[in-house]
Amino acid sequence: MKYNKIAILMAMKQEALPLIKYFRLKKIGFYNPIDVYANEDKSLLLSLSGQSQEYGIDNIGSQAATLNTFVVINNFSPDLVINCGTAGGFKSKNAKIGDVYISKDRVLYHDRRISLPGGYREYGFGNYNVINSDLLAKKFKLKQGIISTGDAFDLNKNDLKIMQENDVEVKEMEAAAIAWVCQLYNIDFIAIKAITDFIDEPEKTSMDFMNNLDLASKRLKEKIIEIIDDLLL
């Protein structure tokens, strides 16, 4: 399938800079705190969740991702939204540092545990739609898996239980929030994530993330370039 306009949504500027440089994107707008970049004909957008004025760090997590998606959809009307970034994987499921995964079947939340009747439990998990990724995975040698979103960097036993019950392969902090907004507006969505650390080695997660960020960002750039060239009209 081909698209007239694709929007890439990301949280961390360090992850985005290789793509901004490769596609020669220029900043075209600031929607506090969202930074939007585009190519010359605006067929390719890249939108960052911006920086926290209070703490001077990237606005990571689902709150900023929701706003980022709303801003991009309402101002630029993309046909496809791609959320890409880095994430944690399971060593026990044969994930390797630098592996790039594409979303399969659905994205969900693992940390919105709402123990109320009448659909609130299901609402908390989300289970939002993603486009079929089988052909893209095969063509570009990507791993596929269910991607799960949470706002904590670490993982507790309840989160892990939910991830295991849902056969989750990748843990990150934005995809489900973005997918929810895309589903509201009936816009196609996929997530593409490069592995920086292992969820099942929690004692090393933070250190591994920082040590492997450059490698994962490089691998992510390589795959995103291939996918954009294939999907963009």
Task: Reply yes or no on whether 111 is catalytic.
Answer: no
State in Å, rounded, how far the first CA of the chain is from the last one: 9
Task: Reply yes or no on whether 35 is catalytic.
Answer: no
Question: Torsion-angle region of residue 126: left (phi > 0), alpha (psi -120 to 50) or beta?
Answer: left
SS3 of the chain: helix, strand, coil, percent, to 5: 40, 30, 30
Q: Given the residues 15, 35, 58, 111, select the one marked as catalytic.
A: 15
In the chain, at which residue ranges do the beta strands (DSSP E only) sit?
Answer: 6-10, 26-31, 34-38, 44-48, 80-89, 100-109, 128-129, 143-149, 168-172, 188-198
CB proximity list for 187: less than 8 A, separation 6 or greater = 73, 78, 79, 80, 81
Question: Torsion-angle region of residue 119: left (phi > 0), alpha (psi -120 to 50) or beta?
Answer: left
What is the C-alpha to C-alpha distance for residues 79 and 91, in angstroms, rounded to an integer?
Answer: 35
Other residues' Cβ atoms within 10 Å of the Cβ of residue 122: 10
Q: Given the residues 35, 99, 169, 197, select the one marked as catalytic.
A: 197
What is the C-alpha to C-alpha distance for residues 11 and 65, in angstroms, rounded to an integer?
Answer: 7
Annotated catalytic sites, by residue? 15, 197
